[in-house]
Amino acid sequence: AQSVTQLGSHVSVSEGALVLLRCNYSSSVPPYLFWYVQYPNQGLQLLLKYTTGATLVKGINGFEAEFKKSETSFHLTKPSAHMSDAAEYFCAVSDYTGGFKTIFGAGTRLFVKA
Amino acid sequence: NAGVTQTPKFRILKIGQSMTLQCTQDMNHNYMYWYRQDPGMGLKLIYYSVGAGITDKGEVPNGYNVSRSTTEDFPLRLELAAPSQTSVYFCASSYGGEKLFFGSGTQLSVL
């Protein structure tokens, strides 16, 4: 069965600093991997996804993630944090053995200090 | 294009009451999902469906039931509400198991 582990329930960075949110997954077959963002009192929206092809994936708002099969990781990065990036971020995985049901990690709340 | 529509947005139930959370999508997506979100726990999959007439359990199905009689609708039924079911519920849909489109959520309190 698929699973996702997000390291760190809270991450705090200064405005302009590098953002790094960690995600490790478990899947017995090539997975689909996703990062979603949730702003306060809103639903989730897709930041980026990996299905096949290039392992470095670029998303919206300057975020990117790299699929590393050998490390079973899909960490999310952004070179320079902005105050508007403060939100909760969820890593998710799906694959065909699970009927493509999407399983989420516990989430990482990002705080950005001025 | 409405996307995924959930009703109601808020509801308070007494212990033992029943209710149905409604979810409909107008994108002709084959996959539909119900999640619950609790603080610090992320989203947990309750039930999902890969098409009309087909449903399957997710990670936390106990206390819930679903049906999928049409492509558009995927209602979630709580038969005997318990305080442990206090949560925010999200319905989502996708085409072929890729990007999920989420509804705006239902905040449910069971007292």
Interface test with A, best of B46, B98, B104, B106 (most A CBs within 10 A): B98
Q: How confident is the model at residue A30 (pLDDT cuts 50, 70, 90)?
A: confident
Which residue on chain A is closest to B45 by alpha carbon?
A103
Instruction: Kindly report the nearest CA distance between residue A43 and chain B, in angstroms.
Output: 5
Residues in chain B: 111
pLDDT at residue A1 tops 70: yes
**Are the Cβ atoms of A101 and B43 closer than 8 angstroms?**
no
User: Which among A76, A72, A45, A70 is positioned nearest to A58, based on CA atoms?
Assistant: A76
**Token output for A32:** 């689909």
pLDDT at residue A14 tops 90: yes
Give the C-alpha separation, A48 to A60, whole Å: 7
User: Which among A76, A95, A79, A82 is positioned nearest to A36, based on CA atoms?
Assistant: A76
A43 touching chain B per CB within 8 A: yes
Answer for the pair B92, B100: CB distance below 8 angstroms, yes or no. Answer: yes
pLDDT at A99: 72
- Of residues A27 and A24, more confidence is placed in A24
| Cross-strand bridge partners of residue B101 | B93
A61-87 residue pLDDT tens: 999 999 999 999 999 999 999 999 999
Of A101, A105, A106, which has the smallest distance from its Cβ to B48's Cβ? A101
**Are the Cβ atoms of A43 and B31 closer than 8 angstroms?**
no
B98 touching chain A per CB within 8 A: yes
Q: What is the mean pLDDT of residues B82-110?
A: 92
pLDDT at B111: 94
B18-56 residue pLDDT tens: 999 999 999 999 999 999 999 888 899 999 999 999 999
pLDDT at B98: 81
pLDDT at residue B16 tops 80: yes
